[in-house]
Amino acid sequence: MSDPLFLVAPEQLRADRLRLDGPEGRHAATVQRIREGESVLVTDGAGHGARCRVVATDRAELELAVEERLDEPEPELRLVLAQALAKGDRDLQAIEAATELDVDEVIPWQAERSVVRWRGERAAKSWRRWDQSLVAATKQSRRMRRPLLREQVDRRALTERVGSCALALVLHEEATQPLATVELPATGDVLLVVGPEGGISPEELDALVAAGALPVRLGRTVLRTSTAGPAALAVLGAAGRWR
């Protein structure tokens, strides 16, 4: 089994010894019951990390000695998921799996047909839940880089982002071009747009296409919003960075 991973502040990685305390330390010591002599990974979530040996333990913290410095450069081709807000935590399921599948950035999208609405205090609370889900999935998948979480966007902001990407793809059940046949650029952002339970409206699709996005389909079946993004990211990963 691979070493467990924990998030630390960037300044902690500058020393040869560091203390894992706070929520991460309590989880490591009391939940995972990590003991002296075991090996763990730590990262700042921005590509810098270390493999460490536990040299002392307490009920709520670990003392670690750095054995190996680890650095993961930012990929030249970045995968960005614009995930529509969805009910029943299906949007959370989507971004958790997307993190495991190496997504670099996540954008919450308030689509016209989204049943869920982020407004006021609910918007801030929901954004924090998304952020916590990304952190948990980062640790589970042993990533040195956690996905960036952007602020919520509407149709106008999303179409503006389409124009700044090297390639923008819209998953749509009526598209004729299979995603597997799309040629990926060597560098830049590949934006993947996933709609809500009710699908992307014709007006949204027209706006995205006018901004330069390409409608694509995954296969013969229609996937839920919780599985469409991760499935598409797996296809993109197999065509690009997993080779």
Q: Please write the tens of the pLDDT for every residue from 1-49.
A: 689 999 999 999 999 999 999 989 898 888 889 899 999 999 999 999 9
For residues 76-93, average pLDDT? 96
- Integer angstrom CA distances of residue 25 from 48, 128, 159: 19, 21, 42
Count other Cβ atoms within 10 Å, centred on residue 232: 25
**156 and 42 assigned to the same domain:** no
DSSP 27: I
Write down which residue in 48, 71, 94 finishes a domain.
71
**96 and 61 assigned to the same domain:** no
10 Å CB burial of residue 137 (0-12, 13-18, 19+) is buried
Rounded to the nearest 5°, which phi and psi values hold at 88?
Answer: 65, 25
Count: domains in the chain: 2
**54 and 129 assigned to the same domain:** no
**107 and 18 assigned to the same domain:** no
Q: Quick one: CA dihedral 73, 243, 149, 28, positive or negative?
A: negative
State residue 1's pLDDT score: 62
The CATH number of whichever domain residue 196 belongs to comes to 3.40.1280.10
CA–CA distance, 164 with 202 (Å, rounded to integer)? 22
Q: At what angle do helices 225-239 and 90-100 cross, to 10 degrees?
A: 20
**103 and 201 assigned to the same domain:** yes
**199 and 117 assigned to the same domain:** yes
Domain coverage including residue 211: 77-239
Of the chain, the percentage scoring pLDDT greater than 70 comes to 100
Show the DSSP H helices in the chain as ranges: 22-26, 90-100, 120-140, 155-163, 202-210, 225-239
**224 and 181 assigned to the same domain:** yes
Q: Considering the entire predicted model, what is its pTM?
A: 0.93
**43 and 92 assigned to the same domain:** no
**106 and 191 assigned to the same domain:** yes
Cross-strand bridge partners of residue 41: 5, 51
Write down which residue in 71, 88, 118 finishes a domain.
71
Higher-pLDDT residue of 219, 104: 104
Q: Please write the tens of the pLDDT for every residue from 187-222.
A: 999 999 999 998 999 999 999 999 999 999 998 888
CA–CA distance, 133 with 128 (Å, rounded to integer)? 9
The CATH number of whichever domain residue 33 belongs to comes to 2.40.240.20
**87 and 11 assigned to the same domain:** no
Contact 165, 191 (CB under 8 A): yes
State residue 186's pLDDT score: 92
Write down which residue in 55, 71, 87 finishes a domain.
71
